[in-house]
Structure 1
Amino acid sequence: MTQGKKPAGKRSQAVAAKRDAILQAGLSQFSKYGVHGATLENIAECAGVSKTNLLYYFPSKDALYIAVLKQILAIWLAPLRAFRSDLEPLTAIGEYIRLKMAVSRDYPEASRLFCMEMLQGAPLLMGELSGDVKPLVEEKSAIVAGWVAQGKLAKIDPNHLIFMIWATTQHYADFSVQVEAVTGATLQDDAFFQQTVENVQRMIIAGIRPR
């Protein structure tokens, strides 16, 4: 029985690894060329599989694109899901800024592709945004609103605070070429990453401290 399970386990790992390789290749190609410019042939070549094998896992380019977007959304929402009400408000918001900046550092291609989808009106992701993002933002906004009501934060609109954090942190991924041209550094530089996090935290937190 043990001998029978091992091959099945190895096959399962191989399937998962191949699927992940296709998703990563899809992300790379879609972030460079968009959903219309990327081809299944190039994605398959980038993933090291045949086009036929790719279509076994994802029956169409749209299906692969949607799978890539859903994977990006999970990464993008992880810091917001981790937003904690049991911390002091300024500590929680500072940590959220750090986690969002880390996403921009670690997943720049994902951030750029997500931005492209938003600019196109999110035709393939609108259902996910309404189903996952909206209630999550409402939940976390309610925490911030509670802090405001208790006098622990300045009188701010929670949605605009969240939007500002998104816009600021994602700038470093979506406009990384511009950032590097101006500063000579990217978030891959540990010192620049830390400096960026601290400056963004300082500026945002200064605006939301209770008066």
Structure 2
Amino acid sequence: MARAASTKGQTRIQKEKTEQILNAALNVFSTYGFRGSTIDQIATEAGLSKPNILYYFDGKDAIHAVLLSRLLETWLEPLEHLQDSETPIDEICAYVTRKLEMARDYPRESRLFANEILQGAPRIIDDLAGPLRTLTQQKADLIHSWIASGKIAPVDPHHLIFSIWSTTQHYADFDVQVNAVLGPQTEDRFVKAAAHLNTLFRKMLEP
């Protein structure tokens, strides 16, 4: 069990230690994956002793579980904000922008999620087949209603959502490849990416 799954009731120092451990673990897990990561690596990254880590968490499974729980809440939020609109293309492109901003602001979390998926999602399969599937179906139905009313071009709603996920998360999950092709990070990289994706999806969705 994760003793630090909730910071409620903890002292300020305990909360800080908990976040210090989780931040270090996020670095480790997003780099080496769950199987390649150890408590010793997390302790070194956090600048704490192994016993200190185990005072707050029962093991790496508990730490990983907390990180995934937080991640899923963050990951679902942009899709939840996709709402009915008289200008659905604008609404969809706003969703694309939010997802791209997440790739920019939360690259470690994106890679953590990708690593979990590549392993067959053993720790979050119930969430994927439950809350994520339900939410995605709701938004697919919304997109279908826009198609039926002639507001956007006919597309497969589910595969449109998959395309948005893949094109935006690429900038986090394949950051090394992007850097190898484009060279050192530049401030306007995501600005250009946003402009490109906006054009791409707008042209595809124009009725």
TM-score of the superposed pair, with normalisation by structure 1: 0.87
As a proportion of its length, which structure holds more helix?
Answer: 1
Give the Å deviation of 1:190.
Answer: 3.2
1:27, CA displacement in angstroms? 0.9
Query: Paired residue for 1:47?
Result: 46
2:106 alignment partner in structure 1: 107
Q: CA deviation at 1:50?
A: 3.1
Equivalent residues in 2 for 1:1-211, closer than 5 Å: 12-86=11-85, 88-186=87-185, 189-210=186-207
Identity %, equivalent residues: 41
Amino acid at match of 2:136: V
Q: In 2, Cα distance between the equivalents of 1:16 and 1:148? A: 48
Point out the more displaced range, 91-100 or 42-51: 42-51
Unaligned runs of 5+ in 2: 1-7
SS at match of 2:33: helix
Over aligned residues, Cα RMSD in angstroms?
Answer: 1.9
Residue 36 of structure 1: SS of its match in structure 2? coil
Deviation at 1:185, TM superposition (A): 4.9
For structure 1, the 5+ residue unaligned runs are: 1-8
Deviations 1:46-72 (A, max 9, x none): 223332332233212111112112222
Residues 179 and 185 of structure 1 are in contact (CA less than 8 Å); yes or no, is this contact kept in structure 2? Answer: no
Is contact 1:44–1:54 with CA below 8 Å preserved after alignment? yes
Alpha-carbon distance in 2 for matches of 1:112, 1:147? 33
* AA aligned opposite 2:183: G
Deviation, structure 1 residue 153: 0.8
CA contact (8 A) 1:79 1:96 kept: yes
**Structure with the greater relative contact order (CA < 8 A, sep ≥ 6): 1 or 2?**
2
Deviations 1:120-156 (A, max 9, x none): 1101110121222111111211211111111101111
Does the C-alpha gap of structure 1 residues 85 and 133 become closer, same or farther in structure 2, counting only changes over 3 Å?
same
Separation in 1, partners of 2:43, 2:169: 29
> Could you tell me how far apart the structure 2 residues matched to 1:86 and 1:18 are?
44
**Distance in 2, Cα, partners of 1:103 & 1:41:** 29
Q: CA deviation at 1:44?
A: 2.2
Call closer, same or farther: CA 1:25–1:137 in 2, change over 3 Å. Answer: same
Whether contact under 8 Å (1:23, 1:68) holds in the other structure is yes
Asked if the contact 1:148/1:154 (under 8 Å) is kept, the reply is yes
Contact map agreement 2:24 2:45 (CA 8 A) in 1: yes
The amino acid of 2:17's aligned partner reads K
Number of aligned residue pairs: 200
In structure 1, how many angstroms separate the alpha carbons of the residues matched to 2:37 and 2:10?
A: 29
TM-score, normalised to structure 2, is 0.89
SS in 2 for 1:122: coil
- Residue 34 of structure 2 contacts residue 116 of structure 2 at CA under 8 Å; is this kept in 1? no
Check conservation: 1:26, 1:64, Cα contact below 8 A.
yes
3-state SS of paired residue (2:76): helix
- Take 1:105 and 1:177, find their aligned partners in 2: how far apart are those partners? 13
Q: Using the alignment, how far apart are the partners of 1:142 and 1:104 within structure 2?
A: 26
Measured against aligned partners, the alpha-carbon deviations of 1:9-50 in whole angstroms (never above 9, x if no partner) come to 995333322222211111111111121221112212322333
